[in-house]
Amino acid sequence: MSPISTGADWDFELLERYDTAIAEVAAEYGLDTYPNQIEIITSEQMIDAYATSGLPVGYPHWSYGKEFIRNEQAYRRGMQGLAYEIVINSNPCIAYLMEENTVTTQALVIAHASYGHNSFFKGNHLFRQWTAADAILDYLVFARRYVMECEERHGATAVEEVIDACHALMPHGVDRYRRPAALSYKAEAARLAQREAYKESQFNDLWRTLPEGAAGQAATAAKKSFPADPQENILYFVEKYSPKLEPWQRELVRIVRKLAQYFYPQAQTKVMNEGWATFWHYTILNRLHEKGLVDDGFMLEFLKSHTNVIAQPGFDSKAYSGINPYALGFSMFRDLRRICENPDAEDREWFPELAGSDWRVTLDFAMRNFKDESFIAQYLSPRLMRDFHLFAVADHVSEDTLRVDSIHDERGYRRVRKLLATQHAQELRVPDVQVVRYDRDGDRSLTLRHIRRRGRPLHDAASEVVLHLRRLWGFPVRLETWEDDIRVGDVVECAA
């Protein structure tokens, strides 16, 4: 077959032809995707999109302005390139392509975003469980409208204060064990109206003064400690129980909480998601080349961008900025395929049930059922650890130097793998802070407890976060630190 195109320029018709070819290959490999929507944008629009974490609609807030200015500045000075694409987990799956890209890059991006990421969004259990791809755009429209209405009614400063406080608590605004109901604009608006109407209809000032019976007093005693169990979703607790919030403020808390929940799976699957998309653009474009649909020039250009994306500088290099999720994820999926197709003795020992299995089934299973932490714990092979020269360093307060804990050798493989997996665990990135007590019958103060593990303290910004929470809560807030059931450290307290 003759190549689809030569040269660097692209037009819409060409994009469609590439998409058709890529879709064909993706179907060959059995990728299951949402329908695609591809939008062409300029670099300025890309910077715009950056500022709102890629969401096409967002409520106005100064922090997005700050993010925008930061990106624009960095881009103008050439300190930072722009991503070739942004992809949104929605149905249809929206991918933004920059107009400056060459036709090769566009094809790469279509394969990467519209087939790689897209199938991941549709298949991975975390996304299936936590995000409603059908409803997210609707909900964003609702959120934006609602925030702007509030600004009109209550003033931009008042709204900003609430949203600032919510943003500070955003990492602590996610449910980890319950599936939220799907949201849509209409349902949300109707529910809101109903909720307010009910509250109004139930309000009766008289009931306040009724004396409590014996049963009531007993109930009060039982309620002494509230909530019965510690609550990890602080924003949810605030939304439900804050004694002072106005209904509209509650709704703002809810909106930020929903957004936090929407991003929750993304943070936990960075390595897998990027790895999966990179693996597929690599596989699909190579297949196109095999079929003769793209020429060698195309492949050279593609491989250049591809190698840039999956570069992993060493820890002592100037370019080092953490483990590159693209590099790690791509290598793991490729390695997995290798283990299935040509396993060696080591692979047979480490992955007896994978060696020699159908790679498509194995990869599909891995993509669907894991998150970064478990994916690494399960599939990182000794060979990859050697390739990456991974080693673990221990930083303990009791020792005055760092100690190399284990390296990529026979004794260290399992330990390094376990540590790398833990490093990608969401639970270890966000400190464990929970609501333990709401003094409903006393001064209405709220007590948070930070469960410290292995002596790792909160950083100084904690006091500011408590201040923000105080603003939301309306009554005193205190933050205690506990380790091994003993209270340690200072109590951060914000009285009035």
CB of 114 vs another protein, minimal distance in Å: 8
CA angle 210, 211, 215 (to 5 degrees): 115
Within 13 Å, how many C-alpha atoms sit on residue 459's CB side?
A: 3
Does residue 394 belong to the site contacting another protein (CB under 8 A)? yes
Does residue 230 belong to the site contacting another protein (CB under 8 A)? no
Looking at residues 242 to 271 of the shown chain, list those that interact with another protein (rule: CB under 8 A): none
Take residue 137 and report the two structure tokens written for it: 């755009």
Does residue 321 belong to the site contacting another protein (CB under 8 A)? yes
Residue 494 CA to residue 463 CA, distance in Å, equals: 8
Is the CB of residue 123 less than 8 Å from the CB of residue 367? yes
Take residue 441 and report the two structure tokens written for it: 């019958």
By three-state DSSP, how is residue 18 classified?
A: helix
Does residue 431 belong to the site contacting another protein (CB under 8 A)? yes
Please say which residue, 114 or 242, places its beta carbon nearer to another protein.
114
Q: Can you say whether the dihedral through the CA atoms of 123, 96, 324, 322 is positive or negative? A: negative
Does residue 403 belong to the site contacting another protein (CB under 8 A)? yes
Residue 357 CA to residue 380 CA, distance in Å, equals: 17
Residue from 393, 488, 491, 495 touching another protein (CB under 8 A): that is: 393
Q: Can you say whether the dihedral through the CA atoms of 337, 338, 339, 343 is positive or negative? A: positive
Residue from 6, 73, 217, 308 touching another protein (CB under 8 A): that is: 73
CB of 201 vs another protein, minimal distance in Å: 38
Residue 302 CA to residue 244 CA, distance in Å, equals: 57
Does residue 78 belong to the site contacting another protein (CB under 8 A)? no
Give the interface segment with another protein, choosing from 190-198, 239-247, 302-310, 315-323 (CB under 8 A): 315-323
Does residue 404 belong to the site contacting another protein (CB under 8 A)? yes
Residue from 9, 316, 353, 484 touching another protein (CB under 8 A): that is: 316
Does residue 41 belong to the site contacting another protein (CB under 8 A)? yes
10 Å Cβ neighbour count for 236? 19
Residue 5 CA to residue 21 CA, distance in Å, equals: 12
Does residue 412 belong to the site contacting another protein (CB under 8 A)? yes
Please say which residue, 65 or 297, places its beta carbon nearer to another protein.
65
Does residue 170 belong to the site contacting another protein (CB under 8 A)? yes
Give the interface segment with another protein, choosing from 197-205, 215-223, 279-287, 410-418 (CB under 8 A): 410-418
Is the CB of residue 282 less than 8 Å from the CB of residue 306? yes
Q: What does the DSSP 8-state code read for residue 334?
A: H
* Residues 128-167 as x/- pattern, contact with another protein by CB under 8 A: ----------------------------x---x---x--x
User: Cis peptide leading into 431, omega within 30 of 0?
Assistant: no
Does residue 462 belong to the site contacting another protein (CB under 8 A)? yes
CB of 70 vs another protein, minimal distance in Å: 7
Residue from 3, 24, 64, 474 touching another protein (CB under 8 A): that is: 64
Residue from 136, 255, 416, 472 touching another protein (CB under 8 A): that is: 416
Please say which residue, 78 or 314, places its beta carbon nearer to another protein.
314
Does residue 178 belong to the site contacting another protein (CB under 8 A)? no
Does residue 459 belong to the site contacting another protein (CB under 8 A)? yes
Is the CB of residue 240 less than 8 Å from the CB of residue 257? no
Give the interface segment with another protein, choosing from 290-298, 302-310, 348-356, 416-424 (CB under 8 A): 416-424
CB of 15 vs another protein, minimal distance in Å: 6
Does residue 65 belong to the site contacting another protein (CB under 8 A)? yes
Please say which residue, 199 or 389, places its beta carbon nearer to another protein.
389
Does residue 176 belong to the site contacting another protein (CB under 8 A)? no
Nearest to residue 109, comparing CAs of 238, 241, 15? Answer: 15
Count the residues of the shown chain that bind another protein, applying the rule CB under 8 A.
Answer: 101
> What Å distances lie between residue 317 and 237, 327, 395, CA to CA?
45, 16, 20
Specify burial of residue 482 (Cβ count, 10 A radius: 0-12, 13-18, 19+): middle
Give the interface segment with another protein, choosing from 125-133, 206-214, 266-274, 411-419 (CB under 8 A): 411-419
Is the CB of residue 269 less than 8 Å from the CB of residue 276? no
Q: What does the DSSP 8-state code read for residue 117?
A: I
Residue type, 125: H
CB of 1 vs another protein, minimal distance in Å: 20
- Strand intervals (E) in 17-133: 36-41, 85-88, 93-98
User: Cis peptide leading into 92, omega within 30 of 0?
Assistant: yes
Looking at residues 332 to 391 of the shown chain, list those that interact with another protein (rule: CB under 8 A): 388-391
